[in-house]
């Protein structure tokens, strides 16, 4: 049973800062832009130094929108009051945009401009236009905003339709890349839903909106490159679905797959695995084993196993995929699966098997195909690990030649492949070539908002290379950009962000920005220790840099405290780290001499005279 919102509650909502900011302000901006014409016409005039191959994770630009559509049947998208039955039927039966607008004008002429039924009709027309085609988006937005204005003025039980209007505005704004307006509309809808829930509102339609709002949040944030934030919304939507859906429903299976995919996208493989297995169980029960959908879910499961370092399990999933694709005669898809198999075999050190598979793939590909590029890159990896560096570079050169012709066709995959090639050049100490390719990758990724996570990884890696090759001034802006992008994409505690903080701290230390260096290094220490443990070499190295920074600043008590941490941790590695332990003890002794005022004391190590360092 629907619960009406009293005039006092609606007044409270309308007078809130959020409502004013998120509804009234966007209305004015849309009007100023000429999109909304309330009287005459509604027409419009989102160091990852351990690189995970994102080609194994199949993000679709609007897969959250697909999930929304799967949850809401067309008949559930609106809940209009009693419109004029014949005119409502005309809206429903319209075969094209012209008929729809003609039916709406007839309805509009029969109603007062503030009639809630007119608002609901605007909402219905906007929703239909939104679902038809991208060319109708501005018209759809005009109707959605008009619905929002009418429904926002009315009291009674109009609050759930108001939520729907806000969601529609948010969805359309997202598709036309007005992401901030999208988030503002969705946030207001979310607040209204919270007020309704406090009033005791419940039921199927209400839960549909709760889920839809979370999915639209996720879609917008994903397209802004905010994958971590998008994942939080996907989790909330999944929690609601788990409460109201049958445990073996296909819809729940799709939701588990989407959340598993999003988890893998931010490298949360441990969380992704059980969700993907749940989706696999449902898919298999509902669809059977031999279908394209099962290939997708098993391919995702394989990528998750790779992320967890479980390469044998990944290879098993790959074999399932190959068998299904062979039975379905899907030759193009099979080539990509065979390349993935070769990459897993490389991870397992089975270089001969990988090379045989890749040679077979190359024989089946066209001279300027994407599959051929990927096969050459994987072949370069094999040759690198076999220490055939000249041959490896030859494969990479051929890959780049093809990519130069594909660059305008598939910029996302081209960018990912350039990044992979650059890392191979880096491993071969071809630093200038690696940096050049990273710059090309950045130029491509900067045009793709949803690839901000990859942009952050490239900035981090390039910043580290610039720092390593002595170009500190150039490294700092790259590392600062990496910190911003990685935090947005992966959250505040991800290991890749920890490495970016560490290298930025090192750069600040070299530039004698000691306070900034200590701040970055302490942040890095917390993240890296949480990710890898305090005995990990990167954790110890970070502690050493912190000790160095405090020593340079003259805070010898703090320097000695962190230097002692370094000694204690290297002792845990004995006898394999005897040289590192001896150096750490020597540095602590130098610190003690500093405190005692000895003029011969030298700390940190890089303060030694150049002649002695040699």
DSSP secondary structure of 339-373:
HHHHHHHHHTT-HHHHHHHHHHHHHHS-TT-HHHH
Does 22 or 119 have the greater pLDDT score?
Answer: 119
Q: Are 211 and 71 in contact (CB under 8 A)?
A: yes
Ordered DSSP codes for 288-355: -SSSHHHHHHHHHHHHHHHHTT-HHHHHHHHHHHHHHHHHHT-HHHHHHHHHHHHHHHHHTT-HHHHH
Cβ neighbours for 285, distance < 8 A, ≥ 6 positions apart: 248
Count other Cβ atoms within 10 Å, centred on residue 254: 21
**Does the pLDDT of residue 380 top 80, yes or no?**
yes
Give the integer Cα–Cα distance in Å for 378 and 357: 10
Cβ-proximal residues to 8 (8 Å cutoff; 6+ apart), any chain: none
Least confident range from 89-98, 382-391, 490-499: namely: 89-98
Alpha-helix residue ranges (DSSP H) falling in 407-536: 411-427, 431-445, 452-468, 472-490, 495-510, 514-532
Residue 152 reports pLDDT greater than 70? yes
Indicate if the pLDDT at residue 562 is higher than 60: yes
Check: CB of residue 361 under 8 Å from CB of residue 338: yes
* Closest among 506, 495, 432 to 465, alpha carbons compared: 432
Tokens of 577: 């780290």
pLDDT value of residue 156: 44
Residue 148 in this model has a pLDDT that exceeds 60: yes
Task: Inform me whether the pLDDT recorded for 184 exceeds 50.
Answer: yes
Q: For the whole model, what pTM was predicted? A: 0.80
Residue 428: predicted pLDDT: 94
Q: Rg of the chain over CA atoms, in angstroms?
A: 29
- pLDDT greater than 50 at residue 432: yes
Q: How confident is the model at residue 87 (pLDDT cuts 50, 70, 90)?
A: low
Rounded to the nearest angstrom, the gap between the alpha carbon of residue 608 and the centroid of all alpha carbons in its chain is 45
- The answer for residues whose C-beta is within 8 angstroms of residue 562's C-beta and 6 or more apart is 543, 544, 546, 547, 550
Check residue 5 and report its DSSP letter. B
Quote the tokens at residue 319: 């074999």
Query: What's the pLDDT score for residue 82?
Result: 47
Q: What is the mean pLDDT of residues 76-94?
A: 57
Dihedral angle sign, alpha carbons of residues 101, 104, 110, 111:
negative
User: Tell me, what's the pLDDT at 311?
Assistant: 96
Residue 200: pLDDT band (50, 70, 90) is confident
pLDDT of 410 strictly over 80: no
pLDDT score, position 114: 84
**Mean pLDDT for the stretch of residues 60-77:** 37
Q: Report residue 295's pLDDT band, with 50, 70 and 90 as the boundaries.
A: very high
Separation between Cα atoms, residue 82 and residue 117, nearest integer Å: 7
Torsion of CA 261, 262, 268, 272, to 10 degrees: -40
Asked whether residue 110 carries a pLDDT value surpassing 90, the answer given is no
Residue 435 has a pLDDT of 96
Counted residue by residue, the chain has a size of: 614
Residue 404 banded pLDDT, cuts 50, 70, 90: confident
Task: Please state, rounded to an integer, the average pLDDT across all residues of the chain.
Answer: 83
Q: Summarize the confidence of residues 221-247 as an average pLDDT.
A: 93
Quickly state the pLDDT bin for 79 (edges 50, 70, 90).
very low
User: What is the average pLDDT across 399-408?
Assistant: 80
Which of the four pLDDT bands, split at 50, 70 and 90, describes residue 607? low
Predicted local distance difference test score (pLDDT) of residue 601: 80
From residue 277, how far is each of 63, 159, 234, 302, 481 by CA, in Å?
A: 20, 39, 17, 11, 36
Q: What is the DSSP string of 229-289?
A: HHHHHHHHHHHHHHHHS-TT-HHHHHHHHHHHHHHHHTT-HHHHHHHHHHHHHHHHHHH-S
**Per-residue tokens: 153:** 């003025």
| Band of pLDDT at residue 600, cut at 50, 70 and 90 | confident
Domains recognised in the chain with CATH numbers: 1-43+78-210 (1.25.40), 330-447 (1.25.40.10), 456-613 (1.25.40.10)
- Residue 101, classed as helix, strand or coil, is helix
212-233: pLDDT as tens digits:
999 999 999 998 888 899 999 9
């Amino acid at each position: 049973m629907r619960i009406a919102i009293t005039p006092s509650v609606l007044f409270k909502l309308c007078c809130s800062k959020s409502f004013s900011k998120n509804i009234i302000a966007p209305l004015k901006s849309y009007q100023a832009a000429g999109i909304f014409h309330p009287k005459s016409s509604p027409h419009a005039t989102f160091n990852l130094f351990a690189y995970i191959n994102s080609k194994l994770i199949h993000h679709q630009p609007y897969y959250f929108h697909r999930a929304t559509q799967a949850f809401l049947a067309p008949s559930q998208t609106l809940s209009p009051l009693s419109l004029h039955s014949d005119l409502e039927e005309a809206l429903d039966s319209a075969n094209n945009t012209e008929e729809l607008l003609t039916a709406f004008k007839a309805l509009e002429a029969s109603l007062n401009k503030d009639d809630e039924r007119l608002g609901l009709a605007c909402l219905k027309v906007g929703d239909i236009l939104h679902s038809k085609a991208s060319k109708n988006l501005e018209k759809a937005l005009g109707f959605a905003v008009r619905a929002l204005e009418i429904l926002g003025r009315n009291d009674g039980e109009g609050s759930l339709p108001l939520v729907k209007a806000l969601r529609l505005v948010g969805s359309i704004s997202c598709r036309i890349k007005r992401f901030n307006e999208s988030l503002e509309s969705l946030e207001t809808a979310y607040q209204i839903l919270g007020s309704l829930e406090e009033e005791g509102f419940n039921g199927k339609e209400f839960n549909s909106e709760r889920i839809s709002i979370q999915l639209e949040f996720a879609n917008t944030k994903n397209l802004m490159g905010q994958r971590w934030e998008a994942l939080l919304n996907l989790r909330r939507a999944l929690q609601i679905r788990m409460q109201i859906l049958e445990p073996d429903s296909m819809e729940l299976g799709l939701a588990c797959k989407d959340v598993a995919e999003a988890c893998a996208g931010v490298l949360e493989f441990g969380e992704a695995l059980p969700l993907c297995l749940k989706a696999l169980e449902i898919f298999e029960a509902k669809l059977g084993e031999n279908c394209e959908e099962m290939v997708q879910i098993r391919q995702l499961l394989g990528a998750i196993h790779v992320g967890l370092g479980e390469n044998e399990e990944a290879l098993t999933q790959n074999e399932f995929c190959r068998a299904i694709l062979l039975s379905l005669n899907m030759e193009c898809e099979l080539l990509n699966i065979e390349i993935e198999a070769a990459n897993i075999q490389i991870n397992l050190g089975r270089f001969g098997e990988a090379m045989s598979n890749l040679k077979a793939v190359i024989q089946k590909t066209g001279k300027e195909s994407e599959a051929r590029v990927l096969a050459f890159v994987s072949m370069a990896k094999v040759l690198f690990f076999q220490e055939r560096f000249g041959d490896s570079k030859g494969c990479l050169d051929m890959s780049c030649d093809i990519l130069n012709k594909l660059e305008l066709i598939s910029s996302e995959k081209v960018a990912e492949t350039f990044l992979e090639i650059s890392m191979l050049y880096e491993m071969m100490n071809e630093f200038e070539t690696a940096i050049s390719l990273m710059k090309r990758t950045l130029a491509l990724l900067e045009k793709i908002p949803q690839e901000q996570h990859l942009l952050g990884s490239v900035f981090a890696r390039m910043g580290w290379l610039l720092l390593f090759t002595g170009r500190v001034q150039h490294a700092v802006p790259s590392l600062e950009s990496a910190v911003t992008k990685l935090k947005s994409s992966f959250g505040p505690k991800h290991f890749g962000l920890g490495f970016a903080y560490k290298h930025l701290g090192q750069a600040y230390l070299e530039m004698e920005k000691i306070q900034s260096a200590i701040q970055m290094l302490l942040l890095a220490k917390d993240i890296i220790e949480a990710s890898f443990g305090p005995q990990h070499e990167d954790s110890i190295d970070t502690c050493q840099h912190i000790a160095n920074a405090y020593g340079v600043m003259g805070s010898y008590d703090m320097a000695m405290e962190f230097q002692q941490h370094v000694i204690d941790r290297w002792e845990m590695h004995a006898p394999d780290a005897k040289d590192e332990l001896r150096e750490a003890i020597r540095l602590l002794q130098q610190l003690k001499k500093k405190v005692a005022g000895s003029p011969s004391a030298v700390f940190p190590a890089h303060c030694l005279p150049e002649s002695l360092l040699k």
